[in-house]
Amino acid sequence: MTGKQRIVIKGVKDGLVFVLDDRCGMDELLAELNDKLERSHHKLLTGPLVHVRVKLGSRRLTEADRERLVDAIRRRGNLIIQSIEADPDPAEQTAGAGSLHVISGVIRSGQTVEREGHLLLLGDVNPGGTVSCTGDIYIMGALRGTAHAGCRGNADAVIAAALMRPTQLRIADIISRPPEEWMSEDAQMEFAYLEDGRMRIDKISRLNRFRKDPIVFKGV
Amino acid sequence: MGEAIVVTSGKGGVGKTTTSANLGTALALQGKKVCMVDTDIGLRNLDVVMGLENRIIYDIIDVAEGRCRLAQALVKDKRFDELYMLPAAQTKDKHDIEPDQVKRIIDDLKRDFDYVIIDCPAGIEQGFRNAVAGADAAIIVTTPENAAVRDADRVIGLLEQQRIPSRLIINRIRPNMVKSGEMLDVDEIVQVLAVDLLGIVPDDEKVIKAANTGEPTVMDPSSRAAIAYRNIARRVLGEKVPLMQMEDKTGMMQRLRKFFGMG
C-alpha cells in the first residue's frame, strides 16, 4: 500500500464524510474504498444507520462510475448516502453565467421560467407569469408579468422587452413596481437597469452606453 | 367519430353554462347531433338553463358507478330530437368521479354524437381535471374584465400542457363602455391571451330572462346575443363568419367622418 491515502473518512456531527482523492484512477479508488469498508474500518462501519456525504473534489464522474461508487457504499447496509458533492468547475461556472437560453412561447399566468445565464424569450410574458434568470433577460414580445434578472445578485443585469408593460421588475435584490410615467406610449424596445440602486428604464439603443462595451463594428 | 369540446374559464360567473347551453342548442339548430355534458358535480345547473331539470332520472355519477347505462342517463331536449344532455349529480362532489371515468364516458358519447359539449366547473382543481379529461378542444369563455382575462390565461396555460387547443369567446361586451375606454376591448384581450378568437357576445338582458325560463337565448333571433351564438356555432362547424359589429348601426355621415379621421 502506498503511503498516501486516497480515501479519508472523517466523522462529523451528523454522520461521516468520505473525502476522495481526485487525481488517482477510478479503479484504484474503488479498490481502496472496498478495502476500507470491508477490512480496516469494518468495526467502525457496523452498527446503527449513518449518513454519509461523499466529497469528490474536482473529479467528474460518469453515470457508470457514479453507480459503482454508490453500490460500493450501499453494500454496507448501515451507510446511507446523503449527497455526492463535487467542487464546482470554474470554467463551467463562467460558461453557465454567460450562456444564452432561447425559449419560444407565451409565459402565462401561473407559469414560471427559471434559467441559469441569460434568457431570450420569443413571445410574451403575461400578467401573473414570471421569468427569472441569473443573467440578462431579453423579451422579443410584451412583458406584462414579472421579470427578475440577475437573481443571484448580479446588479449589472438588464431586462429588455419589445413592449415594456411589467407588473413588477426585479434586478438583483431591487424590486420595482412601474410608476405610470414609465409607460411610454410609443412601442419601442426598452430596457431596465439599476443605477445607484434604483431601477431605470431607457431606450434599447442606449444599452451600449450603460454597458460601456467598446464598439467594434467595422464598416465602410 | 364526433368532437368533444370543453367550455371552461377558470373564473366563475363569466357564462360557461350559458355558452354551453347556447352553443349546444345552436349546433342542434344547424342539424348536428349534440350531447351536452354537465361536469359541475354538486352545483349542476346546465339542466336548469336548458329547462330540463324535471326530466332527470340518472346522472353522470350513476353512469360512472355502473348504476345505469349511459343511454338511460341521457336527457332528451324538448325542442330538438338530436340534442341530449348528460346531467351532473347534485348530491355528490367533484371527488366522487375520476378523470379516467369521465374520459371513458366522453369517448362513448363521441361515437354516437357529432359534438359533445362539456360544461366545466369554475376553478382549476379536480372538477377542471375531470372536465378536460376527454376533451379534444377547448373554448375559453372570458368577460372584458382583468380578473377574468387573468384566469383565462391561467387555464389556457394548463390546457397547453395537456396539448388541448383553445379558442376564445369574449362574453358580455358592452359596446358603449368599450368605446369610452372603461372596458377592455377585444383586440387587447386577444393580444394578451394569444389564442384564436371564436366569437364575441354582447351583454344582453334577454340572456338572463332566457336562462330563467329555461329557454336558451339562441332560440330568440331578435336577441343580439342569439345571433352571436349562432355565428359561433357556424364557426365551430368551420364556416367563415365575420365578427359581429358591436356598435349600433352608424350613419353614412359618421362613416364618412371616420374615413377622414374625424370620428
- The string of pLDDT tens digits covering residues A84-132 is 877 765 554 444 456 899 999 999 999 999 999 999 999 999 999 999 9
Higher pLDDT, A96 or A158: A158
> In this structure, are residues B263 and B251 in contact, taking their beta carbons and an 8 Å threshold?
no
Under an 8 A CB cutoff, do A126 and B153 touch?
Answer: yes
What is the C-alpha to C-alpha distance for residues B68 and B45, in angstroms, rounded to an integer? 21
Which pLDDT score, from 0 to 100, does residue B259 have?
65
3-state DSSP assignment of residue A90 = helix
DSSP letter assigned to residue A125: B
Collect all residues of chain B within an 8 Å Cβ-Cβ radius of residue A144: 192
Helix spans in chain B (H): 16-29, 46-50, 60-64, 70-73, 99-112, 126-132, 146-161, 175-179, 186-193, 205-213, 224-236, 252-259
First to last CA, chain A: 70
Q: Is the pLDDT score of B263 beyond 70?
A: no
Higher pLDDT, A212 or B120: B120
Q: Report residue B204 as a C-alpha cell.
A: 344582453
Collect all residues of chain B within an 8 Å Cβ-Cβ radius of residue A126: 153, 192-193
Q: Which residue of A has its CA nearest to B10?
A: A109
Query: Any CB–CB contact under 8 A between B151 and chain A?
Result: yes
> In this structure, are residues B132 and B138 in contact, taking their beta carbons and an 8 Å threshold?
yes
> In this structure, are residues B155 and B162 in contact, taking their beta carbons and an 8 Å threshold?
no
Q: Report residue B81 as a C-alpha cell.
A: 330530437
What is the C-alpha to C-alpha distance for residues B246 and A156, in angstroms, rounded to an integer? 49
Give strand pairing partners of B166. B138
Chain A: give the shortest CA distance to residue B20, in Å.
25
Higher pLDDT, B152 or A76: B152
Q: Report residue A27 as a C-alpha cell.
A: 479503479
Collect all residues of chain B within an 8 Å Cβ-Cβ radius of residue A109: 150-151, 153-154, 157
Instruction: Please report how many Cα atoms fall inside a 13 Å half-sphere around the Cα of residue A139, on the Cβ side.
Output: 34
Which pLDDT score, from 0 to 100, does residue A207 have?
86
Chain A: give the shortest CA distance to residue B178, in Å.
19
As for how many domains chain B has, the answer is 1
Given B150, B160, B191, which is nearest A128 (Cβ)? B150
Nearest Cα residue to B6 out of B161, B138, B160? B138
What is the C-alpha to C-alpha distance for residues A216 and B239, in angstroms, rounded to an integer? 56
What is the residue type of A155?
A
| Kind and range of the H or E run holding A209 | helix A207-211
Give me the mean pLDDT over the B112-139 stretch. Answer: 96
Query: Any CB–CB contact under 8 A between B65 and chain A?
Result: no
3-state DSSP assignment of residue A104 = strand
What is the C-alpha to C-alpha distance for residues A174 and A200, in angstroms, rounded to an integer? 11
What is the C-alpha to C-alpha distance for residues B92 and B90, in angstroms, rounded to an integer? 6
First to last CA, chain B: 50
Which pLDDT score, from 0 to 100, does residue A30 have?
84
pLDDT grade for B109, boundaries at 50, 70 and 90:
very high
Query: Any CB–CB contact under 8 A between B157 and chain A?
Result: yes
Give strand pairing partners of A10. A17
Domain with CATH 2.160.20.70 in chain A: 94-211
Q: Any idea what the CATH number is for the domain that residue B14 is in?
A: 3.40.50.300
Domain with CATH 3.30.160 in chain A: 7-85
Query: Any CB–CB contact under 8 A between B150 and chain A?
Result: yes
Q: For residue B164, what are the contacts with CB-CB under 8 A and spacing of at least 6?
A: B6, B132, B135, B136, B137, B138
Least confident stretch, A143-157, A195-209, B104-118: A195-209
Give me the mean pLDDT over the B201-211 stretch. Answer: 92
Query: Any CB–CB contact under 8 A between B160 and chain A?
Result: yes
Tell me whether strands A15-20 and A50-55 are parallel, antiparallel or unpaired.
parallel
| Kind and range of the H or E run holding B223 | none
Under an 8 A CB cutoff, do A128 and B156 touch?
Answer: no
Chain B: give the shortest CA distance to residue A111, in Å.
8
Which pLDDT score, from 0 to 100, does residue A31 have?
84
pLDDT grade for B159, boundaries at 50, 70 and 90:
very high
Q: Which domain holds residue B21?
A: 3-259
Higher pLDDT, A41 or B106: B106
Q: How many CB atoms lie within 10 A of CB B245?
A: 9
Least confident stretch, B46-60, B120-134, B139-153, B234-248: B234-248
Under an 8 A CB cutoff, do B150 and A124 touch?
Answer: no
Under an 8 A CB cutoff, do B157 and A111 touch?
Answer: yes
Chain B: give the shortest CA distance to residue A125, in Å.
9
Which pLDDT score, from 0 to 100, does residue A208 have?
82
A32 phi and psi angles, rounded to 5 deg:
-70, -35
Give strand pairing partners of B141. B169
What is the C-alpha to C-alpha distance for residues A102 and A121, in angstroms, rounded to an integer? 6
Q: Is the pLDDT score of B168 beyond 90?
A: yes
Which pLDDT score, from 0 to 100, does residue B35 have?
97
Chain B: give the shortest CA distance to residue A123, in Å.
10
The share of chain B scoring above pLDDT 70, in percent, equals 94
CA dihedral A66, A69, A72, A76 (to 10 degrees): -90
Q: Which residue of A has its CA nearest to B154?
A: A109
Interface subset of B 178-197, CB within 8 angstroms of A: 191-194
Handedness of CA B175, B178, B182, B186 (dihedral sign): positive
* Helices H / strands E in chain B, number of each: 12, 8
Taking only the tens place, the pLDDT of each residue in A168-191 is 999 999 999 877 665 666 668 899
Which pLDDT score, from 0 to 100, does residue A53 have?
84
Nearest Cα residue to B60 out of B25, B26, B27, B97? B97
Collect all residues of chain A within an 8 Å Cβ-Cβ radius of residue B153: 108-109, 126-129
Which pLDDT score, from 0 to 100, does residue B179 have?
87
Instruction: Share the mean pLDDT of chain B.
Output: 92
Which pLDDT score, from 0 to 100, does residue A95 have?
44
Q: Is the pLDDT score of B91 beyond 90?
A: yes
Most distant CA atoms of chain B, gap in Å: 68
Nearest Cα residue to A131 out of A121, A117, A141, A142? A121
Taking only the tens place, the pLDDT of each residue in A43-82 is 666 677 788 888 888 777 788 888 888 888 877 777 788 8
What is the C-alpha to C-alpha distance for residues B204 and B160, in angstroms, rounded to an integer? 32
Does the domain at residues A7-85 carry the CATH identifier 3.40.50? no
Q: What is the CATH number of domain A94-211?
A: 2.160.20.70
Which pLDDT score, from 0 to 100, does residue B251 have?
56
Dump the DSSP string for A161-206.
EEEE--SEEEETTEEE---GGG--SS---EEEEEETTEEEEEEGGG
Q: Which of B145, B153, B164, B190 should we substitute to test contact with A (largest number of A Cβ atoms within 10 Å)?
A: B153
Give me the mean pLDDT over the B49-76 stretch. Answer: 95
